[in-house]
Amino acid sequence: MKTFNELNNDITYALRRYEIAYTEISTSALQTALTVSISKEVSQKKMNDFVNYLNDLKVMYQSSFAPGAGFIKLTIFNNFMI
């Protein structure tokens, strides 16, 4: 299992690699999850590539769309590997 810092580095790398526009990355108090706020204007292809990357890392994640705020909230969990 990766350390939290390794996971954080992997996610930051992937966001840059796939040119995913995000406004914020935050960590949970116990460093068990990363939450990324992603712009809803991201291209579908780039988002699919990013999600495939997450699947390759075998991490669990949860996403939700905030229509009023105009962003996708993605929470990536460190403790739970697939």
pLDDT at 32: 84
CATH number, position 38: 3.30.1360.100
For 9-65, the pLDDT digits (tens) are 999 999 999 999 998 899 888 888 999 999 888 899 999 999 999 999 888 999 998
Please, are residues 72 and 38 in contact by the beta-carbon 8 Å criterion? yes
Q: Is 31 left (phi over 0), alpha (psi -120 to 50) or beta?
A: left
pLDDT at 17: 96
Residue 56 and residue 9: Cα distance in Å, rounded?
Answer: 15
pTM score: 0.83
| Buried/exposed 39-71: b ≥16 CB within 10 Å, e otherwise | eeebeeeebeebeebbeebebebeeeeeeeeeb
Total domains in the chain come to 1
Q: What domain range includes position 20?
A: 4-81
For 49-66, the pLDDT digits (tens) are 999 999 998 889 999 987
Residue 50 and residue 17: Cα distance in Å, rounded?
Answer: 9
